[in-house]
């Protein structure tokens, strides 16, 4: 495999592990809509269940939650909780923000959970709109498959969300395995990478991993992945990736060599 014409590794790469949101797909608009829906639902539930507190923190609640989620105007911070963290971690961060505003922890956790469940069931078009594949990813996946390189997804989305994205873009046949938030261990535990490589019948030292977050890249490095690449074109704002990792801004910068 070559990056801008230069070899990335001396040995053979048997598999490539891809992050999903911000790497395989542009999901910023969908995730932004989800973050705003969670903010609105937390406001509604707080007004219904704790009206006096809601009144006293009316000016603070939305900005606090937006900062928690990484909402920045009409975009998301690519390293924020909505962009990178699992649903569980987002729920805990929401409860923490609510507790900082004066709710007891049990009440904060219950309200956050209720708001998240409500948003999960929302059938609003803005929330249910699918993510779009990043430019050139179809061509790269075809090259990898043609060269006999296995592909897999490792993501903090749930298994259903990953499968829905792959199906909507006819990418399912390109991927031999996936690791989701439903699996244990999961990202960013390096053991999740080792387990996924095992599912593929290979080992980290014969694999590449491509992601848009430092947590992805550090996880891969700690797992002993041979080639660790940062992808920077999945968000409006380029993700703040560690410069010591090789990075690409378009899939055409990668060339797959047939052996």
pLDDT digits (tens, 9 = 90+) for 11-36: 889 999 999 999 999 999 999 999 99
pLDDT at 126: 43
Q: Nearest-CA neighbor of 209 among 194, 226, 195, 233? A: 226
pLDDT at 104: 97
pLDDT at 24: 96
pLDDT at 258: 73
Domain boundaries, the chain: 2-27+131-255, 28-128
What are the respective helix, strand and coil percentages of the chain, to the nearest 5? 50, 15, 35
Q: How confident is the model at residue 76 (pLDDT cuts 50, 70, 90)?
A: very high
Average pLDDT of the chain is 93
pLDDT at 11: 84
1 close to 254: Cβ distance less than 8 angstroms: yes
Query: What pTM did the predictor assign?
Result: 0.90
CATH for the stretch 2-27+131-255: 3.40.50.1000
pLDDT more than 90, % of the chain: 87
pLDDT digits (tens, 9 = 90+) for 81-140: 999 998 999 999 999 999 999 999 999 999 999 999 999 887 444 444 568 999 999 999
pLDDT at 46: 97
131 close to 23: Cβ distance less than 8 angstroms: no
pLDDT at 259: 61
User: DSSP character for 252?
Assistant: G
pLDDT at 120: 86
pLDDT at 130: 64
257 close to 147: Cβ distance less than 8 angstroms: yes
Annotate 125-152 with b (16+ C-beta within 10 A) or e (fewer).
Answer: eebeeebebbeebeebbebbbeeebbbb
Residue bearing the bigger pLDDT, 126 or 252 = 252
Q: What is the mean pLDDT of residues 60-72?
A: 96
């Amino acid at each position: 495999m070559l990056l801008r014409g230069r070899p990335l590794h001396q040995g053979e790469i048997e598999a490539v592990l891809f992050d999903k949101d911000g790497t395989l797909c542009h999901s910023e608009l969908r995730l932004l809509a989800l973050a705003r829906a969670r903010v609105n639902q937390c406001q509604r539930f707080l007004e219904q269940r704790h009206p006096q507190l809601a009144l006293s923190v009316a000016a603070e609640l939305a900005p606090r939650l937006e900062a928690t989620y990484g909402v920045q105007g009409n975009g998301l911070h690519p390293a924020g909780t909505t962009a990178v963290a699992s649903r569980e971690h987002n729920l805990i961060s929401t409860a923490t923000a609510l507790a900082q505003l004066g709710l007891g922890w049990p009440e904060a956790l219950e309200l956050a959970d209720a708001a998240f469940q409500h948003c999960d069931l929302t059938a609003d078009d803005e929330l249910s709109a699918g993510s779009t594949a990043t430019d050139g990813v179809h061509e790269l996946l075809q090259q990898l498959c043609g060269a006999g390189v296995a592909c897999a997804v490792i993501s903090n989305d749930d298994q259903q969300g990953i499968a829905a994205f792959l199906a909507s873009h006819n990418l399912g046949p390109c991927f031999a395995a996936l690791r989701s938030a439903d699996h244990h261990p999961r990202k960013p535990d390096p053991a999740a990478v080792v387990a996924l490589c095992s599912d593929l019948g290979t080992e980290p030292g014969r694999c590449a991993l491509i992601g848009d977050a430092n947590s992805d890249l550090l996880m891969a490095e700690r797992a002993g992945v041979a080639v660790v690449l940062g992808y920077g074109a999945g968000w409006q704002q380029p993700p703040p990736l560690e410069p010591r990792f090789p990075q690409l801004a378009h899939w055409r910068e990668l060339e797959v060599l047939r052996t």
